[in-house]
Amino acid sequence: MRTDTAPLPAAALPALARLHAAFPVVQAVTVYETASVHAVQLAALAEAGPLSDLDADSLAHAEDLMAGAAATLRAAGRLDLIDAS
């Protein structure tokens, strides 16, 4: 079940940036999971027919984000958080 929330107020963005810097593993998991969902959606779209150039670029970007996040988690010894080996 998905529950949408309101965007963060601008004043909260610096605090969020500090949290991300302080917790790179948490950030990597978040990036990986978000990019993974996007990649799955685009892959399903590709099964229905050819992707537009923009969608193909988005899929490549999602895969790049997943690889970067996985590298961060590999370095931290925490690939178990994304169930990858």
**pLDDT digit of tens for each residue in the chain (85 aa)?**
556 677 889 999 999 888 878 889 999 999 999 999 999 999 999 999 999 999 999 999 999 999 999 999 999 999 999 986 5
Looking at the domain assignment, is residue 8 inside a domain?
A: no
User: What total of structural domains would you count in the chain?
Assistant: 1
Looking at the domain assignment, is residue 15 inside a domain?
A: no
**Contacts (Cβ under 8 Å, ≥6 apart) of 51:** 42, 45, 59
Task: Measure the CA–CA gap between 71 and 77, rounded to whole angstroms.
Answer: 10
Structural domain of residue 76, as residue ranges?
24-80
pTM: 0.73
